[in-house]
Structures are given as C-alpha cells and as structure tokens.
Amino acid sequence: MSKIKCIIIEDEPLAVKVLADFISQVPFLQLQASFKDAILATDFLRHNTTDLIFLDIHLPKLKGMAFLKTLTNPPAVIITTAYHQYAVEGFDLNVTDYLLKPIEFERFLVAVNKVKPAEKEKQPSNENRDTKDFMFLTIQKKKVKVLFADIVYIESQREYIKIVTTKQEYISKISTHEMEELLPAHLFKRIHRSFIVAVNKIDSYTAEMVEVNGVSIPVGRGYKDILDSL
C-alpha cells in the first residue's frame, strides 16, 4: 500500500508529540515534517508535495483557516482543535475531517482512513483522462455515467458536490479535490475553492467573475492567474 505523506502544523509541543506518535503507529502514514506556524509550512509546500495536513486553527502569525484559504490546490486536511465552533467553516473548505482535542487514537484512525494515497487517486485519471470522454460517479448508491462534454460546472456543497450538466444536475458525495483529479485538466479549470468550470462552456469572464451558460460564478483570489491561460 502506498504511504500517505503528511505534515503537522501545530504550535503546542504536546499536541505535536501526540499526533506524531499516532502517525508512527499507522503503517500507511509517513510524517514528513512538523511546523509551529503556517508561514513555515507555506515555505515547505512551495518546494514539496504532501498528501495530508494536520492543521491546528489557533496558530501564531496566520490562523489555520486563513492559511487554508491561501492554498490553491490543497491536499487532504484534517483540522485538529479544541474549538468545535469552527466545524462548519472547516467543512465549507472541504476538509476531510475535524478532530477535537484531546484526540483519541480510535477517532484519529477513523479520520486518516478517509484519506486516499495520491498515487491511487491519480493513477487511473492520468492513464485515462486523454482517452476517456466520460466518468462514472456514485449518485444515490448508483454508478452514473457522466460525459465530460456535458458538464457545465461543478460546485462544492460541503461534503457533497453538485455537477451541473447540459441535461440535468447531479449530487455526489465526493470532495472537490477528488473530482478535480478525475477531470481532464485541459478541459476543466478550478476558478474558486468551490467551483470548477468547463473551459468550452465559458461565455465571458473578468478578473472577478466567469459567465458559464448564463450563470455567474465568482473567481477566487488565489485563482485569478488561471484565467490568463485560457
């Protein structure tokens, strides 16, 4: 089984020790590094890739949620905090799970089991995205064939996504990150943390908004450069 590479962003030494100990007990996890603030982690992520971030919310210099919003293509994220009131905002940002301190090992294991190794996600899509013109999505416990050519845009709705096509709309329980991996990169662009659009369905755009089949979709601050490549 491929190992899931992960980093810890946490300013409490005891919390870092607990997480590192938990990670060492799970054979499919590999700890790359730990950071006491998000700025140091940002520098690491500029030159390295990771599959999973364990992220505290109350960090010095840059808060956890603010840091998460700066990532244009975030890996899986598991929030670790003593404050439950941030759970809704966390799931709005497509986090994988939300662990409340003190964290129990059994609950930790449930969270990490939701994360798939990047190699497993990317391998089929890299092999087939240039030859296949469709994908199968789980819709209400049934695998439904969706043609790439029919997709207009995709919208994140917490732990679900809405796929809007020229024929109908679908709701599937899959993350935006996982969906992005299934789509041909030259046909679809992520223009916002919550939106992916079909390039050939774009009618017009500005630095703040994209018009797709009569629907106005906002452009995220960290995604404006993507439009320059259209």
For 40, 123, 150, 177, the CA distances from 131, given in Å and listed in that order, are 40, 14, 16, 21
β-pairing verdict for 215-218 and 209-212: antiparallel
Fold for 4-115, please state it. Answer: Rossmann fold (3.40.50)
Domain made up of 121-227: CATH architecture:
Beta Barrel (2.40)
pLDDT of residue 92: 58
- pTM for this prediction: 0.53
C-alpha triplet 195, 201, 202: angle, nearest 5° = 70
Is the model's pLDDT at 84 over the cut of 80?
no
Centre a 10 Å sphere on the Cβ of residue 227 and count the other Cβ atoms it contains. Answer: 15
Q: Where are the domains of the chain?
A: 4-115, 121-227
Q: What is the mean pLDDT of the chain?
A: 85
Same fold across 4-115 and 121-227: no
Is the model's pLDDT at 86 over the cut of 90?
no
Instruction: Give the start-end residues of each E strand in the chain.
Output: 4-9, 29-35, 52-56, 76-81, 97-100, 134-139, 142-147, 151-157, 160-165, 169-172, 188-192, 195-198, 202-205, 209-212, 215-218
pLDDT in tens, 104-144: 999 999 999 999 765 444 444 444 445 678 989 888 888 99
Buried b (16+ CB within 10 A) or exposed e, 188-224: bbbbbbbbbbbeebbeebeeeebebeeeebebbeebe
Peptide bond into 102 cis (omega under 30): yes
